[in-house]
Chain A
Amino acid sequence: MLREILALASMFIKEAKAWILVNIFFLIIFPIAMIFSFRYIIAGDMIYYLISGTITFQIAITGFVAVPQTIGMDRERGRLSLMIASGVPAWAYAMTSTLVNNIMAIASGFLIIGIAALISSLGISPISIVLLLASLMAGTFQGSMIGLALAAKVRNWRLLNQLTQLLGFGLTFFAPVYFPLGAVPKYLLPLAMLEPTTYIAQAVRLSLTGSYASLIWDAATLIYGVAFAVLADKWGLG
């Protein structure tokens, strides 16, 4: 099965060149623009919120938008059926597609750090890089599992496209992603804790500062992801 999955991954990468421009824009140009534009109005340690927020946004765009839209389109065009008929389980197809989508998101995360370090002289320690990698992997897992659950539940392709965009942007800008969790009013805190991006953003920000507390948020992020993986499996993708 590993050989078949690698063949699938190779096919997806070859196919990805068709939308490479959009990928380059969202995963490279857009973050550069965000950091370049907003660093002038952000003071002191708040730069970490800008960076962790932008990385979380990337993960949200990939997990909540790209993953379900890709699976939704493949199902709509009968390709999921085609793959099942070819002996590839739906989960293997979805996970491979997800993996290819996320390789760019993880690479983009590190690119953002590099840009931030260059532009804002941000000090990043080696331990931050290790912690960040863990947070990016937990975050992309969680985002993708939510994306797969969405694709499994919402069978109307148009509705799925609309919903995923709403979620991608909504969960970035209506959650404590670009601002501290402590700034959320108490009565809105339960709502904020329901938002998956809250966990990713805290984990990424703490990992940037080299705090091991990021691992606790990583664990919560993973638990959130596993819960949605179970739902995706229950609802079924085919």
Chain B
Amino acid sequence: MELAIEVIGLRRSFGNVLALDDVSIKVSRGELVSLLGPNGAGKTTLVRHLYCELKPQSGSVKVLNENPCNRRVRLRMGVTPQEAEPYYDLSVFDNVYYAARIRGLSSHEAMMRAEDTIKHLGLLEYRDKYVMDLSGGLKRRTLIAMAVAHSPEVMVLDEPTTGLDPVARRELWELLRSLKGEGRTILLTTHYMEEAEALSDRVYFINKKVIDEGTPMELRKKFAYYYEVIDLETGKLYRVKEDEVRDFISKLNGRFEVRAPSLEDVYLEVMKNA
């Protein structure tokens, strides 16, 4: 499958602090891939290389088969950097319109795209509101509208749901699913395991280097040598080895629940051993 993003042997340090050590990731066209890792794991540093805010000290970064420092590549990308905010003193429409304009669209085309994107992203009733008057979720939605208005092939979203309430997060998930449904390639960084599990085709665990990689199910299976058994009568949770589960539950009186480790359990296990 054709690659949309290819990072090979990327290494980056800031002074004496090593941020990325020989990181390699690949994202195929149309995939939604998540980068998971603790604070300071280098996720944002990696992402900043993808839109050329940072240049590799060693290794290589390619987006759509080209160096992302080439401006024409970035015009085919939509990026929401971590903690970026739209312009508060402009309306939602103006933010989206100017985002399209500075990517080289004509005034007429930018206006049409801005109108379409605002409608498509459920921002129509806020079209003329100043961004400073919007909730955190709507600000984030505006930011995504700014990133998507020029119809990019590749989207890079750095922690787009951090700080959002559960409803706003779920709304954003739906939005990401619909963007993926349109055939866009999406690279997402997140702290939320359930988010990665719900949205991603594949996941990379990162902590300065790639710790593990696979589909959420592959990763869960890899660590499925134990199950969690919850005794619903007492509320007690047991971690039971795979081959002992049948014997164990036969000894329980009453109702119980058996579940495989979640992606979060796998993540904690992987990070502990990393």
Which A residues are closer than 8 A to B by beta carbons?
A: 3-4, 7-8, 10-11, 14-15, 17-18, 77-79, 81-88, 238
Q: How many A-B residue pairs lie within 8 Å, measured between CB atoms?
A: 74
Asked, given contacts A85-B74, A87-B71, A238-B53, whether A14 binds B94 with beta carbons under 8 Å apart, the answer is yes
B74 and A87 within 8 A (CB): yes
* Between-chain CB contacts (< 8 Å), 25 pairs: A3-B104, A4-B103, A7-B98, A7-B101, A7-B102, A8-B98, A8-B102, A10-B98, A11-B87, A11-B101, A11-B102, A15-B90, A78-B81, A78-B83, A79-B84, A81-B53, A81-B81, A81-B82, A82-B79, A82-B84, A84-B53, A85-B51, A85-B53, A85-B156, A86-B74
Contacts of B102 in A (CB 8 A): 4, 7-8, 11, 83, 86-88
Contacts of A77 in B (CB 8 A): 83-85
* CA of A73 to CA of B48, assembled, Å: 19
Contacts of A3 in B (CB 8 A): 104
When A and B form their complex, which 6 residue pairs have the shortest distance between CB atoms, in order from nearest?
A: A78-B84, A85-B79, A18-B89, A81-B81, A7-B101, A85-B51
B75 proximal to A (CB < 8 A) = yes
* CA of A3 to CA of B51, assembled, Å: 21
Q: In this complex, what residue of B is CB-closest to A96?
A: B102
Further contacts, 7 of them, CB under 8 A, given A14-B90, A81-B84? A3-B104, A4-B104, A14-B94, A15-B87, A85-B51, A85-B53, A87-B75
B52 proximal to A (CB < 8 A) = yes
Interface string of B38-79 (1 = CB under 8 A from A): 000000000010011100000000000000000110110101
B99 proximal to A (CB < 8 A) = yes
B85 and A79 within 8 A (CB): yes
Interface size on B, residues (CB 8 A): 30
Quote the shortest CB–CB distance from A235 to chain B (angstroms): 14
* CA of A14 to CA of B98, assembled, Å: 11
* CA of A77 to CA of B48, assembled, Å: 15
Which B residues are closer than 8 A to A by beta carbons?
A: 48, 51-53, 71-72, 74-75, 77, 79-85, 87-90, 94, 98-99, 101-104, 143, 146, 156
Quote the shortest CB–CB distance from B83 to chain A (angstroms): 5
Q: In this complex, what residue of B is CB-closest to A92?
A: B102
B84 and A11 within 8 A (CB): no
Quote the shortest CB–CB distance from B56 to chain A (angstroms): 15
* CA of A8 to CA of B110, assembled, Å: 13
Q: Kindly identify which residue among B72, B82, B90, B101 contacts A4, using a CB–CB cutoff of 8 Å.
A: B101
* CA of A77 to CA of B89, assembled, Å: 13
Contacts of A238 in B (CB 8 A): 53
Contacts of B87 in A (CB 8 A): 11, 15, 79
Asked, given contacts A15-B90, A87-B103, whether A81 binds B74 with beta carbons under 8 Å apart, the answer is no
Quote the shortest CB–CB distance from B50 to chain A (angstroms): 9
Q: In this complex, what residue of B is CB-closest to A89?
A: B71
* CA of A11 to CA of B83, assembled, Å: 21
Q: In this complex, what residue of A is CB-closest to B150?
A: A86
Contacts of B90 in A (CB 8 A): 11, 14-15
* CA of A7 to CA of B82, assembled, Å: 24
* CA of A88 to CA of B83, assembled, Å: 19
B84 and A84 within 8 A (CB): no
